[in-house]
């Protein structure tokens, strides 16, 4: 059982309790600027707002950690979306407990427009948490599925995702706009990280060549190499304003 003190949920506390539910063979991967899995995320330390590639067991473990937060606080709002209602069946008792415990609302749904997504969202009086992932493969068997997604404790971000889901359920929207916006920003941030690393390597290489060759490595050539790296960064950063956009107004509680 997750025992919360009178303070907001921290990343460290959340991950510790995710591990309570995490099978030994579950996996979470870091993803690169193209959204491809590239390394183990659990060994390097996970952080909120970053997109990862989760296997189904890891998604389930993170979901249970958020559900424990909701049960411990016993107030607020829970919204859970899963691809098919059969995925609720093994956890029916837990969801009945959530519905009976919460002072506000509990909603479980498998709306067609949300079919690619797995979401567990909690907004309490003291703690907030969200896990959302979109299926990244064509697997039909639950245990073989992979999801691209993130978790967060930020109430504004959670509010925007909640609004998108509620608009879809009301028939007013057909897309998870906030998820798509955040994914685009995440991939751009990872492109910038990769470009900074590439630029750092190029500049360091140029400096080492200057160190070794002395006057034969002309200042003009060094400046050209540096400008080339900076130009690639400028092209990427010029695209950022189009990605950010205006945040959706928060829904009423």
Tokens of 211: 């160190």
pLDDT of residue 233: 64
**Count of CB atoms situated within 10 Å of the CB of 134:** 18
pLDDT of residue 243: 54
Report CA 251 to chain centroid distance, whole Å. 21
Contact 29, 39 (CB under 8 A): yes
pLDDT of residue 222: 66
Burial 229-244 (b: 16+ CB within 10 A, else e): beeeeeebeeeeeeee
Backbone angles phi, psi at 61, to 5 degrees: -65, -45
The CA distances from residue 236 to 121, 198, 245, in Å, are 33, 13, 16
Return the H-helix or E-strand segment holding 117: strand 117-123
Strands 105-109 and 77-81: parallel
Burial 87-104 (b: 16+ CB within 10 A, else e): eeeebeeebeebeeebee
pLDDT of residue 192: 81
State which residues of the chain have pLDDT below 50. Answer: 1, 3, 245-253
Q: Distance (Å, rounded) from C-alpha 80 to C-alpha 197?
A: 39
Length of the chain: 253
pLDDT of residue 247: 38
What residues are paired with 53 via a beta bridge? 29, 148
Tokens of 101: 């415990």
Tokens of 11: 């990343």
């Amino acid at each position: 059982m997750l025992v919360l003190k009178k303070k907001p949920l921290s990343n460290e506390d959340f991950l510790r309790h995710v591990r309570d539910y995490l099978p030994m063979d579950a996996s979470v991967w870091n993803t690169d600027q193209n959204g491809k899995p590239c390394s183990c995320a659990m060994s390097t330390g996970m952080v909120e707002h970053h997109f990862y590639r989760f296997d189904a067991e890891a998604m389930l473990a993170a979901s249970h950690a958020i559900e424990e937060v909701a049960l411990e606080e016993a107030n607020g709002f829970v919204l859970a979306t899963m691809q098919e209602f059969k995925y609720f069946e093994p956890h029916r008792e837990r969801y009945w407990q959530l519905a009976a415990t919460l002072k506000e609302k509990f909603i479980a749904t498998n709306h067609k427009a949300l079919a690619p997504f797995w979401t567990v969202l909690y907004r309490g009086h003291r703690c907030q948490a969200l896990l959302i992932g979109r299926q990244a493969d064509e697997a039909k068997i639950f245990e073989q599925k992979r999801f691209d997604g993130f978790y967060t404790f930020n109430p504004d971000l959670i509010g925007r995702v909640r609004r998108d889901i509620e608009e879809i359920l009301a028939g007013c929207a057909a897309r998870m706009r906030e998820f798509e916006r955040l994914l685009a920003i995440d991939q751009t941030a990872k492109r910038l990280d990769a470009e900074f690393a590439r630029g750092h390597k190029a500049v360091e290489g140029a400096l080492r060549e200057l160190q070794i060759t002395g006057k034969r490595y002309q200042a003009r050539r060094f400046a050209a190499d540096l400008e080339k790296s900076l130009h690639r960064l400028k092209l990427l950063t010029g695209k950022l304003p189009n990605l950010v956009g205006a945040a959706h107004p928060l829904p009423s509680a």
